[in-house]
Amino acid sequence: MPLYEYRCRACDAAFEILVRAGDTPACRACASPDLERQVSLFAVDSDGTRQAARARSMGTAVTRQRDKDKADVELYERHHH
């Protein structure tokens, strides 16, 4: 389960929250769903490192999507055999 850091656009509170697939996170302070995901993980100094971090992040997103597709197929097959 991924732990994300968010900042609330309504009241400017910052907090970390566990987000399950399909969940809509809400602000802990004011319950607003208008949140901005923080990307502090990639706040690095040099341009080269930043680009590498971005490439890694895109690769990770693709891998996650592929894993999800695989999981969906496995779920489908489990239900149809």
C-beta of 11 vs 41, nearer to Zn ion: 11
Q: Which residue has the tokens 């509170």?
A: 13
Beta carbon nearer to Zn ion, 32 or 63 = 32
Least spacing, CB of residue 3 vs Zn ion, in Å = 18
* Encoded tokens for 26: 């809400």
Q: How far apart are CA 7 and CA 59, in angstroms?
A: 25
Query: Which residues are at the interface with Zn ion (CB under 5 A)?
Result: 8, 10-11, 13, 27, 29-30, 32
Nearer to Zn ion, 33 or 59 (CB): 33
Pairing of strands 14-18, 35-37: unpaired
